[in-house]
């Protein structure tokens, strides 16, 4: 990996978020402490957890609402419409009119839906009210929020979207996991985490280079030395400071990668 892979060479932002809904909460950089939910010891010493937590951006729902699945149909409600309504192809309140006022005449009626009932049982597509645009050859991994406890009752399907060419609404499909109990979605908590990836990283040419290494009986001097340095020697030192890996990883990140 070279320095040119880290940021686009022409100064283009790596990710640009466009809001379709003016009142929607803007995305924000993901938090090392996962919104304060990571235990203090992990936040201090577990570099793996804090790096995963901070990798990417939080995407929030555009309004507070609730979903409920009865085993067959999915229903939704929100503060302005507290009665339960069947989810089929549901617009965001007021977006269709706002979209038509702003869009060219030939795009009238093309506002994206907010909620869409999917064919699979208990699966609903939720729109974020955003369009995400990445630099050339970069994509977004759309996933559950890393290391943050989410409201019970639903889980996001994960996907990689080539947002350097897909200029459309950012959404995700969610599987409801319990019936006859409302699932409340709040604008105070992120709905998704999106993480930029260079397209090269998930090509077959790269991923097919992985191999199964040697068995334990086939470990050589290099493997045993790596284990000795990483595990055995630190654990034999009763005076060792905690978080040695975290310290070393942070020092390593301070050194720019050039190639």
Helix (H, G, I), strand (E, B) or coil at 203: coil
In this structure, is the dihedral angle defined by the CA atoms of residues 164, 22, 188 and 88, taken in order, positive or negative? negative
Cα gap 128→62, rounded to integer Å: 6
The encoded tokens of residue 63 equal: 């309004």
- Of residues 42 and 245, the one with the higher pLDDT is 42
The answer to whether residue 256 scores a pLDDT higher than 60 is no
The encoded tokens of residue 217 equal: 């009986």
78 phi/psi in degrees, rounded to 5: -150, 175
Percent of the chain with pLDDT over 90: 69
DSSP designation for 164: T
For 144-176, the pLDDT digits (tens) are: 999 988 778 999 999 999 999 999 999 999 999
Question: What's the pLDDT score for residue 230?
Answer: 87
| Burial class of residue 214 (count of CB atoms within 10 Å of its CB; 0-12, 13-18, 19+) | exposed
Q: Which residues contact 70 (CB under 8 A, 6 or more apart)?
A: 179, 180
For 123-146, the pLDDT digits (tens) are: 999 999 999 999 999 999 999 999
- Of residues 23 and 124, the one with the higher pLDDT is 124
Cα gap 173→156, rounded to integer Å: 6
Cα gap 247→237, rounded to integer Å: 17
What are the sequence ranges of the domains in the chain? 3-28+58-206
- Of residues 160 and 5, the one with the higher pLDDT is 160
- 3-28+58-206 is classed CATH 1.10.3720.10: no
Q: What angle do CA 171, 176, 177 make, to 5 degrees?
A: 145
Radius of gyration over alpha carbons of the chain, in Å? 23
Question: What's the pLDDT score for residue 3?
Answer: 42
Average per-residue pLDDT in the chain? Answer: 89
DSSP designation for 110: -
Question: What's the pLDDT score for residue 39?
Answer: 83
Question: What's the pLDDT score for residue 112?
Answer: 96
Q: Are 138 and 187 in contact (CB under 8 A)?
A: no
Nearest Cα to Cα of residue 132 among 172, 167, 103:
167
Nearest Cα to Cα of residue 128 among 174, 82, 219, 59:
59
Cα gap 183→186, rounded to integer Å: 10
**Within its chain, how far is the Cα of 210 from the centroid?**
25
Q: Are 203 and 178 in contact (CB under 8 A)?
A: no
Cα gap 51→84, rounded to integer Å: 40
For 81-112, the pLDDT digits (tens) are: 999 999 999 999 999 999 999 999 999 999 99
The pTM (predicted TM-score) of the whole model is 0.86
Percent of the chain with pLDDT over 70: 90
């Amino acid at each position: 990996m070279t320095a040119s892979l880290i940021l686009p060479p022409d100064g283009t932002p790596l990710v640009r978020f466009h809001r379709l809904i003016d009142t929607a909460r803007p995305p924000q950089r993901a938090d090392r402490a996962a919104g304060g939910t990571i235990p203090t010891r992990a936040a201090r010493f577990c570099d793996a957890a804090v790096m995963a937590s901070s990798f990417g951006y939080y995407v929030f729902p555009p309004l507070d609402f609730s979903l409920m699945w009865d085993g067959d149909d999915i229903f939704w409600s929100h503060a302005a419409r507290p009665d339960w309504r069947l989810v089929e192809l549901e617009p965001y309140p007021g977006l269709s009119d706002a979209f038509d006022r702003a869009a060219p005449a030939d795009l009238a009626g093309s506002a994206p839906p907010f909620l869409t009932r999917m064919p699979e049982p208990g699966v609903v597509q939720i729109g974020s009210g955003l369009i995400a645009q990445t630099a050339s050859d970069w994509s977004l991994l759309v996933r559950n929020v890393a290391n943050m406890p989410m409201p019970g009752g639903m889980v996001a399907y994960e996907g990689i979207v080539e947002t350097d060419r897909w200029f459309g609404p950012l959404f995700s499909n969610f599987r409801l996991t319990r019936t006859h109990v409302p699932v409340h979605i709040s604008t105070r908590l992120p709905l998704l985490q999106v993480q930029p990836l260079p397209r090269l990283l998930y090509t077959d040419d790269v991923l097919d280079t992985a191999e199964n290494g040697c068995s334990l009986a086939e470990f050589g001097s290099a493997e045993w030395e790596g284990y000795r340095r990483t595990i055995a020697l630190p654990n034999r030192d009763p005076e060792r400071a905690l978080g040695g890996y975290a310290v070393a990883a942070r020092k390593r990140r301070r050194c720019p990668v050039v190639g």
